[in-house]
Amino acid sequence: MHPYYAAEIAAGRKKVEFRRRWSNKPTDVLVVYATAPIKAIVAIAEISEVRRAGNTQLWEICKSFGGAITRTRLREYMHDLDQGVALLLGRLAVPKFGINPREAFGGDFVPPQSYRYLRAEEVESLIDVFGKQQ
């Protein structure tokens, strides 16, 4: 995710993350990876709810929950879709220092273009690395 939006989530100001598409598979945690120049995991957020909605409804969600994005930017992002996705964020855990994903997931880590699911061993490793910072 762009460093600005990742920082807004980590600071607790961004309570909703917008996605163009999202899986129907139940997902309860969002690991927030900030792209270059940060290149680190900066937060782990609980996904309290997933809402699929049109642009007007997404903007209302943004205003209600704190999306840290302008209406113009949100429309540009969702420009060719009938529906987008709003991930409502709940509890938040922020490491003292950004976590190098290669430390948690191994040297062959490649940042996903949109999102990807973590394997059980990756979750355990991330918890271990995160715990060492506390």
Give residue-wise pLDDT tens across range 85-130: 999 999 999 999 999 999 999 889 888 887 888 888 998 999 899 8
CA 75 to chain CA mean position, Å: 19
CA 127 to chain CA mean position, Å: 17
CA distances, 52 to each of 39, 106, 116 (Å): 29, 33, 19
CA 104 – CA 74 distance, rounded (Å): 32
What's the confidence (pLDDT) of residue 59?
A: 97
Q: Which domain holds residue 102?
A: 3-133
Q: Report how many domains make up the chain.
A: 1
pTM of the model: 0.91
CA 30 – CA 50 distance, rounded (Å): 12
Rg of the chain taking only CA atoms, in angstroms: 15
